[in-house]
């Protein structure tokens, strides 16, 4: 059985360096993983999807010249 870890907005912001407004803006445009509703007024993100998003960003960054 797979293990999933849900993380709240504060941890998403800490991991990605994005502000709240940017997270929601990018979610709306489809450029960021969608949140999951976990309660009447609570949402969370799958940590694995956030980690995959970070890895994708790292793959597309410009190589540093020496």
> All domains of the chain, ordered by start, with CATH?
6-59 (1.10.238.160)
Q: What is the reported pLDDT for 66?
A: 59
The contacts of residue 35 (CB under 8 Å, 6+ apart) are 27, 43, 44, 45
Q: What is the reported pLDDT for 65?
A: 62
Q: What is the reported pLDDT for 20?
A: 98
Please write the tens of the pLDDT for every residue from 5-45: 999 999 999 999 999 999 999 999 999 999 999 999 999 99
pLDDT higher than 80, residue 57: yes
- Predicted TM-score (pTM) of the model is 0.87
Q: What is the reported pLDDT for 1?
A: 79
């Amino acid at each position: 059985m797979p293990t999933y870890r849900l993380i709240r907005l504060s941890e998403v912001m800490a991991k990605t360096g994005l502000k709240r407004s940017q997270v929601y803006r990018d979610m709306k445009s489809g450029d960021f993983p969608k949140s999951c509703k976990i309660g009447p007024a609570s949402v969370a993100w799958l940590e694995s999807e956030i980690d995959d998003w970070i890895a994708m960003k790292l793959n597309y960054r410009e190589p540093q010249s020496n």
